[in-house]
Structure 1
Amino acid sequence: MTTYDYDLFVIGAGSGGVRAARLTALDGKRVAIAEEHRVGGTCVIRGCVPKKFMVMASEVSHALHIAEGYGWSFDNARFDWPTFLQAKDVEIARLSGIYAANLGKAGVELIHGRAVLRDAHTIEILGKDQTITAERILIATGGRPWVPDNLPGIEHAITSEEAFHLPELPKRILIAGGGYIAVEFAGIFAGLGVETTLIYRGPNILRGFDDDVRAHLAGEIEKRGVKVILGCQHEKLEKTETGIVNHLENGMAIETDVVMFATGRVPHVKDLGLETAGVALNDKGAIQVDTYSRTTADNIWAIGDVTDRINLTPVAIREAVAFHQTVYRDTPTAFDYEAVASAVFSQPPVGVVGLTEAEARHTCAKGVDVYLTRFRPMKYAFTGSDERVLMKLVVDAETQRVVGVHIVGPESPEMIQLAAIAVKAGLTKAQWDATCAVHPTMAEELVTLKDKQTPASMSAG
């Protein structure tokens, strides 16, 4: 019988890898985890958490504007970028330390270094002359930003990862991309007073989201000061003495201080030694896994963004739990990817769960009923703002199950978490309607929507 150094070796100490390592170690197994950067992964170090801090910082300017409508006045209100960066970095360091401490308390050995597979049971820690063997291996290396490396001048651009550490706040920025990262950072910089331009090669932002959400949000972020240019992309970037000139395919030339590419993320699989271990990639370049996150190598599993299923931190954590139940508790468990809620922390934010209207029309045999409303939030009544909320329910016409909920507006991420319970439970529109409203709230609209959209109202909307 072969003796290994560890029962489980995890590559990548992000949210998913840490959860799997801790659960397995707490079961008495010998576990090690390797991380080439800081413990916490994308979400904690260079993703969700610092981005949310930036969103909250940038929203203050909008809150001050609203407050004036309620009789408040502010003299010399200003934002100091270095002060914010220091506070943000201190908190991120604290959170990373908690992750590392929790690994230690669970009995997981933390190895700082880049781990590379040499075969299905052997891992080398580069630069440390250290080779380790493990009975089982879990890959949880996440994703990395993708940029078009064939674009002239691309070396002058940054990605979302560098945006967290800009030495000074730019006066002008252009963000290339139309996904949630691009839209979120556009709102962040605009809210901090930066002249912000968003360009996207597609016909509208947030590809994959409901079309009403996409159209509504595009208009709303422009009200917050973001200049949106659609159906266009870069020809080249040119560095000048006064900034960076963005030469676009439509003939426009826009000079900014910073250019940020948020053009997607790809699984972090480069130079991991996957081939030598018998781990195959799928046609999208992600690690190929089965229902239980097992790769094409019998003793190697993969979870999180590196598998490109649903790239959300809570999903990676649930995949980690399912891995542990399957492999170490003898309880085969597969995560259910249906009706996973998500939020876009744009300004205003978006919350969605379930099917888009287009998806539902392809899925529901007898068609769909659509309930939609747009209204001005009560909090803007005194401000003169014309910002509006969008709420939309998509209902299976045959079963009357609510199969999709889509919200654009203040607090939509908080609302969608609770709406997701109802969608996941398969509740019907009648059950939603039977729920008494909480007044006065925006959320009450979700249980008071009575009028189905007709073809005429759809075209009018």
Structure 2
Amino acid sequence: MAEAEFDYDLFTIGGGSGGVRASRISASHGAKVAIAEEYRMGGTCVIRGCVPKKMLVYASMFAEELGHAAHKGWTLGEKSFDWPTLRDFVNSDVDRLEGLYDGTLGNAGVEVYSERAVITGPNSVRLASGKEITAKKILVATGGWPMLPEFDGNEHCITSNEIFHVEEFPQRLMVLGGGYIAVEFAGIFNALGGDVTLVNRTDTILRTYDSDIVDRLPVVMKARGMDLQLGTVVDSVAKNDDGSFTVTLTNGVTKQVDRILVATGRKPNSEGLGLETAGVELGKAGEILVDAYSKTSCDSIYAVGDVTNRVQLTPVAIREGHAFADTVFGNNPRAVDHSCIPSAVFSQPSIASVGLTEAEARKEHGDIAVYTSDFRPMKNIFSDRMERGLYKMVCHGETGQVLGLHMIGPESAEIIQAAAVAIKAKLTKADFDATTAIHPSMAEELVLLK
């Protein structure tokens, strides 16, 4: 029960994955909980991020499979692609998921406010409607927001927030950025038949991933018809009379495009929340600074997820939210281990990684051993393109403990999840070698690395 002087034990600002999990678990521990979300319940991942994007990935991969049909013995009739059909189906499923989030909170007894909330003090918030609310604890879980670089005409660009809702398919799409969001959308619209240009300010994309793995991807992207403009940025964008855009790059290249998608990074969504009224400290990027238990510089205010800029991944936000609830309301203090977190890029082909890259391992441990398998996946035999997969295992030189695993190839994310358990458990190369392979499969390469 809430203490008499407070309306709630917990008031959560932000209805994304982290905020919803924290609210639901806190309520299960007996806390009186309310949550405020100004847009749509589900947050970035469900509404405008990984879930609808992965659905677009699946749709675009189907286009690739259609190209292999003849080699598989299939004779197909006339084929065409209709963007509004795909767009509307994806958005209808987002609506379904949003309803599930609302239902989950309601079943847990969490009161939902569908409006913006700002902090007015260590134990108080104000809703957009003007209602003042007090709470023993406040949790900020407002996520991140796309950054828009400065250049003439940047108002003509869209971000990942808007790309899911464009009326017409962008036959000529320019994507700005070299991170996973940019690379994934470039692959999606290329596979769906678009003319895609990827622009990145450095010569390297996906710079946090192992270099041997990443080096494979630009070659494949070019072979699939994408124009990679690396080591350059946009100088200006001008709108043409027909609604298209002329983009001038700093390297002198000029392109005519239908849409410019900015995916140059995301920043913590901490502006205008009233954090200063409670003395909550922020970092240089606007991130809310927290301790191992997600507590801010104000003892009554906590923060989880992308707004803390620790690890910008939905499963991490969920774990942080759950740990917060257990710590504050479940009498079970626990911190989230942010080491050895698996991640994936749903590029085409996909990339997955867990643990240390080779460069990181050499810097941290010195003596290491590296094992690889360079192969052509069986499913790629049906393609006319000679795309190969690469699996790479980085081990401690003395103990053989697996420090990192990295791969590029079909279904990499599905394969690495189970392997991540083994690496988190600190198993060795010998443990992998002692495991019988599943043949024929791509995953068997993990126990056959040389």
Deviations 1:70-102 (A, max 9, x none): 121222111111111221111110100000011
Q: Please say if residues 143 and 268 of structure 1, whose CA atoms lie closer than 8 Å, have aligned partners that are also in contact.
A: yes
Does the 8 Å contact 1:68/1:383 carry over to 2?
A: no
Query: Where in structure 2 are the equivalents of 1:66-105 lying within 5 Å?
Result: 66-105=68-107
Measured in 2, the distance between the counterparts of 1:301 and 1:222 equals 45
- Counterparts of 1:18-97 in structure 2, within 5 Å, are 18-97=20-99
Indicate the residue corresponding to 1:291 in structure 2. Answer: 292
* Aligned residue number for residue 447 of structure 2: 447
Aligned to 2:5: 3
Q: Secondary structure at the match of 1:161?
A: coil
TM-score (normalised: structure 1): 0.95
* Equivalent position of 1:271 in the other structure: 272
Residues paired across the two proteins, number: 447
- Whether the 8 Å CA contact 2:377–2:389 is kept in 1: the answer is yes
2:415 counterpart of 1:399: no
Identity of aligned residues (%): 51
Distance 2:332 2:55 in 1: 38
1:351 alignment counterpart: 352
Instruction: Report what 2:322 is aligned to.
Output: 321
The answer to whether the 8 Å contact 2:268/2:285 transfers is no
Q: What are the superposed Cα offsets for residues 50-75 of structure 1, whole Å, 9 maximum, x if unpaired?
A: 00111111111101112222121222
SS of residue in 1 equivalent to 2:68:
helix
Q: After the TM superposition, which residues 19-418 of structure 1 pair with which residues of structure 2 at under 5 Å, given as runs?
A: 19-126=21-128, 128-148=129-149, 150-242=150-242, 243-365=244-366, 367-418=367-418
**Which consecutive segments of 4 or more residues in structure 1 shift more than 6 A?**
none
The separation in 1 between residues aligned to 2:87 and 2:283, in whole angstroms, is 39
* Rounded Cα–Cα distance in structure 1 between residues aligned with 2:409 and 2:382: 17
The CA distance in 2 between the partners of 1:161 and 1:247, in whole Å, is 24
Which ranges of structure 2 fall in alignment gaps of 5 or more residues? none
Moved more, 21-30 or 413-422: 21-30
Amino acid at match of 1:350: I
1:427 and 1:272 mapped to 2: Cα distance? 44
CA–CA separation in structure 2 for the residues paired with 1:222 and 1:372: 24
Residue identity in the other structure for 2:267: V
Corresponding letter in the other structure for 2:410: P
* Alignment deviations for residues 30-67 of structure 1 (CA, whole Å, 9 cap, x no partner): 10000000000000000010001111111111011122
Which residue number in structure 2 is paired with residue 13 of structure 1?
15
Amino acid at match of 1:381: I
What value does the CA root-mean-square deviation take over the aligned residues? 1.1
**Which amino acid letter does the alignment assign opposite residue 446 of structure 2?**
L
Give me the whole-angstrom Cα distance separating, in 2, the residues matched to 1:276 and 1:332. 27
> In 2, are the aligned partners of 1:66 and 1:380 still within 8 Å (CA)?
no
TM-score of the pair, normalised by structure 2: 0.98
Q: Deviations over 1:304-333 (max 9, x none)?
A: 000011111111111111111111122210
In structure 2, distance between residues paired with 1:48 and 1:203: 26
SS in 2 for 1:395: strand
Q: Which amino acid aligns with 1:429?
A: K
Contact 2:393 2:405 in 1 (8 A): yes
Are the aligned partners of 2:120 and 2:278 in contact in 1 as well (CA < 8 Å)?
yes
In the alignment, residue 19 of structure 2 is paired with which amino acid? G
Provide the secondary structure at the position in 2 that maps to 1:399: coil
2:436 maps to 436
Amino acid at match of 1:82: P
